[in-house]
A and B are shown apart, each in its own frame.
Chain A
Amino acid sequence: MDIGLDGGFSEPVRQAQSSFRAIMDAFANPGTVQKFAHLAPAHGLLQGELVSTLLTLSDQDTPIWLSGKLRQTPGMEDFVAFHTGAPLVSETGHAVFAFAGAADELPDLDRFNPGTQEYPDRSTTIVLAVTAFAGGDELVIRGPGIRDQRTISPIGLPRNFVAQWAANRALFPRGVDLLLVAGGAVMGLPRSTRIAEGQ
């Protein structure tokens, strides 16, 4: 069987809906861990959580950026083309969605599209696989969707994340939104979230 045509959701309508609800709840409640009810199988280096997010949100209308490492996986371009029809772009600024299997595959956040002041929605959403949602340095976050404050401690965030995120927050309403995935679950950090304390 052709490696690119394999995989995907077994029940596309239902699984896309439940995955979307996990992602929506993740963005509406930043810093919480939202389980994917049905996880799509991994495809090569593209972990199941990344595959689920990709299949749920992208199609021919959403140019996709894949990290160099992901893109070089044999059959990856066929997989994305067959399951989503999304065009792959190499320019980070043109991506509606960006996928990376680890933080070291990801360029700085400011390389992606923050949208414009008139259309801040025309921005990149970054989907990043992290090692785990707990056990890392503690970050205290505040903002819409968070009662008072919430503490998170993911392992595997990008370098200088606190400074990078502060710069991203300063662009508001422009900015990128971040989805972290690990362990069959997703955590959202929309651009509206502030990191109040953390190294």
Chain B
Amino acid sequence: MNATAQYNFAYLDEQTKRMIRRAILKAIAIPGYQVPFSSREMPMPYGWGTGGVQVTASIIGPDDVLKVIDQGADDTTNAVSIRAFFAKVAQVATTTHTGEATIIQTRHRIPERALGPGQTLVYQVPIPEPLRFLEPRETETRKMHALEEYGLMHVKLYEDIARHGRIATTYAYPVKVEGRYVMDPSPTPKFDNPKMHMSEALQLFGAGREHRIYAVPPHTEVVSLDFEDHPFAIQHFEEPCALCGAEQVYLDEVILDDAGGHMYVCSDTDNCETRRAAGHVGALGVREAAE
């Protein structure tokens, strides 16, 4: 074995890329349908973004600018690790600025800033099958999708309402794409669901361990499942970001001490930094300036 093993551009061999590229084209042609693909072992563990990494590796070129986020942040360890992987194997430019990126690989969030045409959002997906926790068998769920038989999902959501007085799903909230396929948006908080609807960006979803790729093309209808008497609603935060003062964004709760002290800060670090650079200040920022 060659100790300094030479890997292809973007790590994957060309035959694997072609296979994934074909799956991506089918996924785009059939929005929301999960295309089976022959997922490869990657040099990072299954469950850590191998699906997203394979999709990114198959589409990325030398002119792309890559952003990687995990929990909305560019500096979480797994995001750092994946970004470093692509900087090494594809020598691409990387960025933390949402607006500058041509490809954004994400785990669990959609950036706050609206994505534009020409941008591609690549989601890392753990369990692509929205019906999996209602029916564990692939042979059964495949039939349900074929027959557009989604009654089970509505029953589950309705049982939530009966038991809790509301739909108790807060993330990985199921959506219907172009009125046909029920789709798992990956474990993003339902706060992000509306951003998928009629987005100008191409959205690609990769589930490596489960061998599935699916897609939502730009300008595509993505509707969160709900009921007339219990319409879909996103999370609402009572206070703005403590650092930049942003409202209508998703916030992380940060525990400050063991006496219940806490603050809320933007989950999207780039959005927060951009706002602060533009002079926006949150409650904590004001105090900092006064000191």
Contacts and interface: CB of A to CB of B under 8 A. Distances in A.
Direct contact of A and B (CB under 8 A): yes
Interface of A: 12-14, 16-18, 20-21, 23-24, 27-29, 56-59, 61-62, 96, 116-121, 123, 125, 143-147, 172-173, 177, 190-192
Given A23-B25, A121-B33, A125-B25, A146 B219 contact: yes
Given A13-B14, A56-B18, A190 B61 contact: no
Contacts of A62: 22
Contacts of A17: 9, 17, 59-61
Contacts, number: 107
Contact of A173 (B15, B22, B24, B33): B33
A182 B145 CA distance: 37
Contact of B14 (A12, A23, A120, A190): A12
B178 A192 contact: yes
B220 A144 contact: yes
Given A14-B62, A118-B143, A177-B25, A192 B218 contact: no
A28 B218 contact: yes
Contacts of A16: 14, 17-18
B18 A21 contact: no
A145 B25 contact: no
B225 to A, nearest CB: 19
Nearest to B218: A145
Given A20-B21, A118-B146, A14 B61 contact: yes
Nearest to A62: B22
A45 B70 CA distance: 49
Contact of A121 (B23, B147, B181): B23
A147 B220 CA distance: 8
A191 B60 CA distance: 25
Contacts of A172: 30, 180
Contacts of A120: 30, 33
Nearest to B37: A121
B interface, size bucket? 35 or more
Interface in B122-161: 142-143, 145-147
Contacts of B23: 121
B219 A144 contact: yes
A119 B23 CA distance: 12
Q: Is the interface of A mostly helix, strand, loop or mixed?
A: loop
Contacts of A190: 28-30
28 contacts: A13-B9, A14-B9, A16-B14, A17-B9, A17-B17, A18-B61, A20-B58, A24-B202, A27-B29, A28-B215, A59-B18, A62-B22, A96-B22, A116-B146, A118-B142, A118-B145, A118-B146, A120-B30, A121-B26, A121-B33, A121-B35, A125-B25, A143-B178, A145-B28, A173-B30, A173-B180, A173-B181, A177-B29
Contacts of B111: none
B8 interface: yes
B130 to A, nearest CB: 16
Interface string B67-90: 000000000000000000000000
Interface of B: 8-9, 14-15, 17-19, 21-31, 33, 35-36, 58-62, 142-143, 145-147, 178, 180-181, 198, 202, 215-221
A52 B30 CA distance: 24
A62 B8 CA distance: 22
A-B pairs with lowest CB-CB distance, top 9: A190-B29, A145-B217, A121-B26, A144-B220, A117-B146, A144-B217, A17-B61, A118-B146, A147-B219
B217 to A, nearest CB: 4
Contacts of B62: 14
A59 B13 CA distance: 13
Contacts of B58: 20
Contact of A28 (B14, B19, B30, B202): B202
Contacts of B143: 118
Contacts of B36: 119, 121
A37 to B, nearest CB: 9
A191 to B, nearest CB: 5
Contacts of A177: 25-26, 29
A173 B216 CA distance: 14
Given A20-B21, A29-B217, 5 more contacts: A28-B202, A116-B146, A120-B30, A173-B30, A191-B29
